[in-house]
Amino acid sequence: MQTALSVVYVCLVAAVGLSGSPDKQYDSNRNSQHIIDAVNTTLVHVKNIWKVLTMSLNIRLSPPPIMGLTQITHDLGLLAVELQSPVTELLSQITVDVSGLEAKVRSRALRTGCLVDARPTGNTCNDLFPDTVFLLILAKVQHYLEELLLHKDKLSVC
């Protein structure tokens, strides 16, 4: 009887061990998908603001190159700092989205062993033309996130 119980116990432990924790590749893909979903959500929010403004801004921006998790974390941190400068109701959701996205990318970078600097601080905004700054920051966020979607493979390298 004890032998039969021992066999059942070993089979249960083996079954739990095989199905209990996902391998690193699956976990990595799942984390990348969470980041990509957050990027897509933020882009929807940005495009909704453009609709509210009932205008289209034809600004040609060159977002920084997407190099890997370390650079993405830094760039999103800079965007988060810029978003805090023009305090407007329209940008509040985008500010939350970008800060959350930066936190997700930072967490992923640290889990994968990438070296990540502290989040940038300071005021990078020129307060002389708040409406122009508002539109420029919104365009920067949109262009950077669209570029990030094009280079989502960089979410797996430092």
CATH of the domain at 92: 1.20.1250
pLDDT beyond 70 at 43: yes
103-109 contact pairs (CB < 8 A, 24+): 104/31, 104/34, 104/35, 104/38, 105/35, 105/69, 105/72, 105/73, 105/76, 105/155, 106/73, 108/31, 108/32, 108/35, 108/69, 108/155, 109/69, 109/70, 109/72, 109/73, 109/158
Looking at residue 28, its pLDDT comes to 59
Which of the four pLDDT bands, split at 50, 70 and 90, describes residue 106?
Answer: very high
In a domain, 12, yes or no: no
Does residue 9 lie within any of the structural domains?
no
Determine, yes or no, domain membership for 45.
Answer: yes
What is the rounded distance in angstroms from the CA atom of residue 20 to the CA atom of residue 102?
29
Number of domains in the chain: 1
Task: Check pLDDT > 90 for residue 98.
Answer: yes
129 DSSP assignment: S
In a domain, 100, yes or no: yes
Please give the model's pTM, rounded to 2 decimal places: 0.70
- In a domain, residue 60? The reply is no
Whether residue 128 lies inside any domain: the answer is: yes
Range of the domain at 79: 22-55+65-153
pLDDT value of position 12 = 39
- 49 falls within a domain: yes
